[in-house]
């Protein structure tokens, strides 16, 4: 019964069927299936499949957006149960946020979905995140990677200050910084002193795996 | 140490003291150079050829955007190349800013001109030792006697002009009045009162010389907005202004100089001078508005994107550097929000929004697309980041509608392509209308599926170097490369149309409007004029409405600016409209990502 449900969850996420995904996750929880397996075999498997289809040019953004939405909704239901179980998992830890002045959520959502599918533990700081919050979280959470997103030519200028401040506070030693977003480029990443640049959500995961 | 950068073929030179990128040098020297990214090294449009060994080493960005052949022949990206010694730079025609293709025409607007500005002829009793009244009092007396105007006043520049005119004209002068303010005086008799209306576009300026008495356009002319050297889109320009106060200053000066140059030419056609302009009205998106006024732009560039004012501004034209009569004003109607400017107010004014209770949609398509929906007494507007794909930018074989451009495409069910090429051929690229034609044709012929993916194995489909497919539209011959539509091109079009459609669907949902309720869809701007309504509906850019309800209204922003120039009533209505319009921030609208995803999909056959 477990396998069938996992498959149903996975399929719902891949196809961006948010309500179906929620319904199936709730059903799985009711049936006392282990949350970690619901996540890995259901939700994460589903989003991984969507990423593969995207990579193969069978999916386009709308499909990935819908899959990421379903992923987000399903994870929101599962999350409280996951935390009940100590040390449910742990890949590398990524703290991610959209810089101050920028309220574009979509690109970051896709990156989070793809990172999670690749086994990263992701802490989402949201949008319009002040510099200090990145610094505080870097200290408190000790992530392996900090991901900065900016989706406007005007807001990407914020990134330089954040990276400089991480440097100044001596937090860069065991911490890699990745940047991404529509107006950014590899050259820009070099210029602001980032360790890597993600061209899109798929590329971001590839680069994060190599860091 | 000083060194010289020489630009060819113009021969313009710039002497520098510090190492500088070729891109910045071109800006400083006023040399036209294309850029879509504003010098970020991502668009690959500022290609130049350098002749010197004093150029910085080739960067990663250049290795990516230029071919090994190009690099071997010293082709570089101007924004990635730093000159640190005498250097000669050749700018090919393909890297210069394209000449102005400008739409000045618009729907016929009818309005009652009604302005407080008028001109009168005066014959003044000469000053003498027995009549030593001051000039102003003497003119004021004549105005009261001959035209019944009491209590006139004049500010310093007008006073100065009047003093000279009185003597030069031997006490016969023409006087221009705004209400009871003297704003100009000249020898001789009264001239037709003229003013200038300007639509300050991000890419282009549209200027109209208008008879203030009749509201008629006497002459019209367009020009490129020279701010383009700081980036093709609004955000790049705001970023430039934010990063250096000197840039903000240059952005202000450069656009004013361009307006002045056009004003001079327009006036010359009527044997007038720019100094004869008695009034000006300028509309533009909120960034253009702020940059023109020299207002700080940081709060506009970052969330929550707040404009400095929601009220009209009337300032001395001279304070902005605009050439006009000594006491002339510049009138700037209010923006609606950070991303919906006074140009949109002008569009709504010209299209008659706010005058009835009909259900109407107005769309101004550009890099940012503004959308307004009127239902009853409510008007809701929004802005979406649609990008420049519909203008032919970021399309791999994109070009403007010039000879060699494919403008129409038909594909038979066997995959045979028939294309209509401007000037007959051979094809060298594809323009915006051609792309919009090609996409639904490719879908109908099964070359792309409902997800917008090019289907491998279909006739004409092949793989690009990067592995993504492309579709052959026209095979190259004799030095012409193949013209293709790539998967990335299709994606650009879908992204652009998805952003616009999401905006439309969100305002419709917000006001609970169904497609069948919409009585007319008004498409402003050049794009609307070449957009085939059938294609717009086929690719799902617009909701499914009877095609006759879709109409192009041309440069409606220019029409609205003209109305406001010549009518105080139009100004009042525009200010009221700007207040009445509710701005909706679509990116935080519930379900935005779903609207965007749905907007990007192609409608089923």
d(CA B467, CA B487): 10
What mean pLDDT is predicted for residues B369-376?
97
Placement of tokens 């003209």 in the chain: B562
List, in sequence order, every beta strand (DSSP E) within B294-348.
313-316, 329-332
- Residues 102 through 121 of chain A touching chain B, CB cutoff 8 Å: 102-106, 109
Q: How far is CA B400 from CA B57, B435, B556, in A?
A: 33, 11, 22
B43-52, B456-465, B579-588: which has the minimum mean pLDDT? Answer: B43-52
The residue that leads in pLDDT, A96 or A80, is A96
**Pairing mode, strands B87-90 and B3-8:** parallel
In angstroms, the first-to-last Cα distance of chain B is 67
Residue B495 · residue B389 · CB < 8 Å: yes
Rounded to whole angstroms, how far apart are CA atoms A132 and A138? 10
pLDDT band at B25 (very low <50, low <70, confident <90, very high): confident
- Give the HSE-up count for residue B567: Cα atoms under 13 Å, Cβ half-sphere: 23
Q: Any chain B CB within 8 A of the CB of A187?
A: yes
Angstrom distance (rounded) from CA B280 to CA B282: 7
For strands B181-187 and B217-224, give the pairing: unpaired
Q: What does the H/E/C string look like for B577-593?
A: HHHHCEECCHHHCCCHH
Of the candidates B22, B164, B147, B35, the one whose C-alpha atom is nearest the C-alpha of residue B86 is B22
Q: d(Cα B223, Cα B257) in Å, to the nearest integer?
A: 11
Q: What percent of chain B has pLDDT over 70?
A: 96
Residue B48 in contact with residue B70, Cβ under 8 Å? no
Judged by a CB distance cut-off of 8 A, whether residue A87 touches chain B is no
- Complex confidence, ipTM: 0.88
Cβ-defined contact of A65 to B597 (cutoff 8 Å): yes
Instruction: State whether A183 and B597 contact (CB < 8 Å).
Output: no
User: What are B195-212's pLDDT values in tens digits?
Assistant: 999 999 998 899 999 999
Contacts of A63 in chain B (CB under 8 A): 451, 597
* C-alpha neighbours within 13 Å on the C-beta side of residue B546: 7
Q: What is the mean pLDDT of residues B566-573?
A: 96
Average pLDDT, chain A: 93
Residue B372's pLDDT band (cuts 50, 70, 90): very high
In the predicted structure, residue B501 carries a pLDDT above the cut 80: yes
Quick one: tokens of B499? 């952003």
Q: Do B498 and A62 touch (CB under 8 A)?
A: yes
Residue B527 has pLDDT above 90, yes or no: no
Nearest to B383 by CA among B503, B553, B484: B503
Give the nearest partner residue to B594 out of A59, A69, A104, using CB atoms: A69
- Of the candidates B192, B141, B148, the residue with the CA atom closest to the CA atom of residue B166: B141
Q: Which of B38, B33, B69 is nearest to B48 (CA)?
A: B33
| pLDDT of amino acid B605 | 66
Instruction: Kindly determine whether residue A62 and residue B303, on different chains, have CB atoms separated by under 8 Å.
Output: no
DSSP A89-137: ----EEEEEEBTT----HHHHHHHHHHHHTT-EEEE--SSB-HHHHHHH
pLDDT, one tens digit per residue, over A5-17 is: 999 999 999 999 9
Q: Report how far residue B223's alpha carbon sits from residue B199's, in angstroms, rounded to the nearest whole number.
A: 11
Give the span between the Cα atoms of B136 and B152, in whole angstroms.
Answer: 9
**Searching chain B, which residue's CA lies closest to the CA of residue A59?**
B451
Residues 33-72 of B with CB under 8 A from A: 37-38, 40-42, 59-61, 64
Question: Cα-flanking dihedrals φ and ψ of residue B314, to 5°?
Answer: -130, 115
**What confidence score (pLDDT) does residue B218 get?**
93
pLDDT at A27: 96
Question: What does the alpha-carbon distance between residue B380 and residue B266 come to, in Å, rounded to a whole number?
Answer: 37
Phi, psi of B508 (to 5 degrees): -65, -45
Contacts of A102 in chain B (CB under 8 A): 302-303
Contact with chain B for residue A186, Cβ under 8 A: yes
Question: Distance from B164 to chain A by nearest Cα, in Å?
Answer: 50
CA distance A105 to A208: 20
Q: Inspect the interface and report whether the beta carbons of B41 and A183 lie closer than 8 Å.
A: no
Q: Rounded mean pLDDT of chain B?
A: 90
- Cα(B213)–Cα(B115) distance, integer angstroms: 8
Which B positions 152-181 lie with beta carbon below 8 A of chain A? Answer: none
Say what the alpha-carbon torsion angle A106, A110, A112, A114 is, to the nearest 10 degrees.
Answer: 180
pLDDT(A86) > 80: no
- Which residues make Cβ contacts (< 8 Å) with residue B517, sequence separation at least 6? B359, B375
How many angstroms separate the first and last alpha carbons of chain A?
39
* pLDDT above 80: residue B1: no
Q: Cα(B462)–Cα(B584) distance, rounded to whole angstroms?
A: 43
- CB contact set of B522 (below 8 Å; sequence gap of 6+): B347, B351, B360, B361, B362, B363, B551, B553, B556
Query: How large is the average pLDDT for residues B231-236?
Result: 88
What is residue B204's predicted lDDT score, i.e. its pLDDT? Answer: 86
Q: How far is it, in rounded angstroms, from Cα B559 to Cα B234?
A: 23
Q: Which of B44 and B257 is assigned the larger pLDDT?
A: B257
Task: Compare CB distances from B487 to A57, A61, A69 and report the shortest one's residue.
Answer: A57
What's the pLDDT at B99? 41
Helix (H, G, I), strand (E, B) or coil at B277: strand
Contact B18, B5 (CB under 8 A): no
The pLDDT of residue A81? 86
Return the DSSP state at B464. Answer: -
Secondary structure E strands in B424-578 = 429-430, 461-463, 469-474, 483-486, 520-524, 550-554
Confidence at residue B100, expressed as pLDDT on a 0 to 100 scale: 38
The pLDDT tens digits of the residues spanning B98-149 come to 443 456 666 667 788 889 999 999 999 999 999 999 999 999 999 999 999 9
Q: Average pLDDT in the A33-39 region? A: 92
pTM of the model: 0.85
How near does any CA of chain B get to the CA of A39, in Å? 23
Give me the pLDDT at residue A135, please: 96
The partner residues of B194 in beta bridges, in order of sequence, read: B211, B277
> Is the pLDDT confidence value at A88 over 70?
no
**Which value, to the nearest 10 degrees, does the dihedral of the CA atoms of residues B119, B125, B128, B129 take?**
-110
CB B395 within 8 A of CB B430: yes
């Amino acid at each position: 019964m477990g396998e069938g449900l996992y498959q149903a969850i996975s399929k719902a996420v891949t196809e961006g069927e948010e309500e179906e995904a929620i319904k199936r996750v709730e059903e799985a929880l009711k049936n006392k299936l282990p949350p970690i397996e619901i996540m890995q075999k259901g939700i994460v498997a589903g989003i991984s499949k969507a990423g593969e289809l995207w990579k193969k040019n069978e999916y386009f953004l709308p499909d990935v957006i819908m899959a990421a939405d379903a992923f987000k909704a399903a994870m929101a239901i599962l999350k409280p149960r996951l935390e009940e179980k100590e040390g449910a998992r742990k890949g590398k830890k990524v703290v991610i946020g959209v810089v101050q002045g920028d309220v574009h959520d979509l690109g970051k959502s896709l990156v989070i979905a793809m990172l999670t599918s690749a086994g990263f533990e992701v802490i989402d700081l949201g949008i319009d995140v002040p510099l200090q919050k990145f610094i505080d979280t870097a200290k408190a959470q000790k992530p392996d990677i900090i991901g900065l997103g900016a989706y406007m030519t005007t807001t990407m200028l914020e990134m330089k200050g954040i990276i400089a401040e991480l440097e100044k506070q001596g937090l860069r030693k065991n911490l890699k910084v990745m940047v991404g977003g529509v107006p950014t480029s590899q050259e820009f990443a070099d210029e602001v002193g980032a360790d890597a640049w993600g061209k899109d959500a798929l590329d971001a995961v590839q680069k994060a795996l190599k860091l | 140490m000083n060194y010289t950068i020489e630009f060819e073929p113009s021969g313009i030179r710039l002497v520098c003291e510090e190492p500088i990128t070729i891109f910045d040098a071109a800006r400083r020297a006023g040399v036209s150079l294309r850029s879509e990214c504003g010098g970020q090294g991502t668009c690959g449009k500022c290609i130049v050829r350098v002749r010197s060994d004093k150029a910085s080493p080739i960067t990663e960005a250049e290795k990516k955007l230029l071919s090994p052949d190009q690099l071997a022949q010293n082709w570089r990206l101007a924004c990635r190349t730093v000159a640190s010694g005498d250097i000669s730079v050749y700018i090919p025609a393909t890297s210069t800013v394209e000449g102005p293709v400008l739409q000045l025409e618009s729907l016929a607007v009818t309005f009652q001109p009604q302005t407080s500005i008028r001109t009168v002829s005066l014959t003044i009793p000469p000053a003498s030792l027995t009549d030593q009244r001051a000039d102003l009092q003497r003119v004021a007396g004549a105005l009261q006697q001959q035209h019944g105007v009491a209590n006139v006043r004049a500010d310093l520049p007008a006073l100065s002009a009047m003093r000279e005119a009185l003597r030069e004209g031997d006490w016969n002068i023409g006087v221009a009045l705004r209400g009871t303010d003297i704003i100009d005086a000249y020898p001789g008799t009264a001239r037709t009162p003229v003013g200038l209306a300007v639509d300050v576009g991000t890419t282009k300026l549209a200027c109209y010389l208008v008879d203030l008495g009749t509201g008629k356009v006497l002459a019209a002319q367009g020009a490129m907005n020279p701010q383009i050297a700081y980036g093709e889109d609004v955000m790049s320009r705001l970023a430039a202004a934010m990063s250096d106060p000197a840039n903000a200053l240059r952005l202000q000066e450069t656009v004013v100089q361009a307006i002045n140059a056009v004003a001079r030419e327009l006036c010359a056609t009527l044997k007038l001078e720019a100094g004869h302009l008695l009034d000006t009205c300028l509309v533009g998106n909120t960034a253009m508005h702020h940059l023109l006024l020299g207002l700080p732009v940081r709060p506009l560039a970052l969330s929550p994107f707040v404009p400095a004012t929601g009220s009209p501004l009337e300032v001395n034209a001279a304070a902005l550097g605009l050439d006009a009569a000594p006491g002339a004003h510049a009138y700037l109607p209010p923006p609606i929000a950070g991303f919906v400017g006074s140009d949109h107010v002008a569009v709504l004014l010209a299209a008659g929004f706010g005058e009835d209770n009909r259900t109407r949609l107005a769309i101004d398509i550009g890099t940012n697309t503004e959308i307004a929906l009127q239902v009853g007494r409510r008007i809701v507007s929004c802005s979406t980041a649609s990008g420049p794909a519909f203008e032919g930018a970021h399309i791999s074989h994109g070009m403007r509608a010039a000879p060699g451009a494919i403008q129409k495409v038909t594909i038979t069910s066997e995959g045979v392509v028939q294309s209509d090429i401007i000037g007959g051929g051979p094809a060298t690229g594809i323009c915006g209308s051609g792309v919009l034609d090609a996409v639904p044709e490719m879908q109908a012929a099964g070359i792309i599926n409902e997800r917008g993916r090019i289907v491998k194995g279909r006739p004409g489909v092949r793989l690009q170097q990067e592995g993504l497919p492309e579709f052959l539209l026209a095979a190259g011959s004799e030095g012409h490369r193949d013209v293709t539509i790539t998967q990335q091109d299709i994606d650009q079009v879908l992204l652009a149309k998805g952003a616009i459609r999401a905006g439309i669907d969100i305002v419709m949902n917000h006001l609970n409007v169904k497609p069948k309720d919409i009585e007319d869809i008004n498409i402003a701007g050049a794009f609307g004029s070449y957009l085939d309504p059938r294609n717009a509906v086929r690719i799902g850019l617009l909701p499914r409405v009877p095609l006759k309800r879709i109409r192009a209204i041309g440069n409606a922003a220019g029409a609205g600016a003209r109305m406001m120039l010549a009518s105080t009533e139009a100004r009042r209505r525009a200010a009221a409209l700007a207040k009445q319009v509710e701005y909706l921030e679509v990116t935080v609208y519930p379900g935005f990502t779903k609207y965007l995803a749905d907007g990007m999909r192609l409608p089923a056959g």
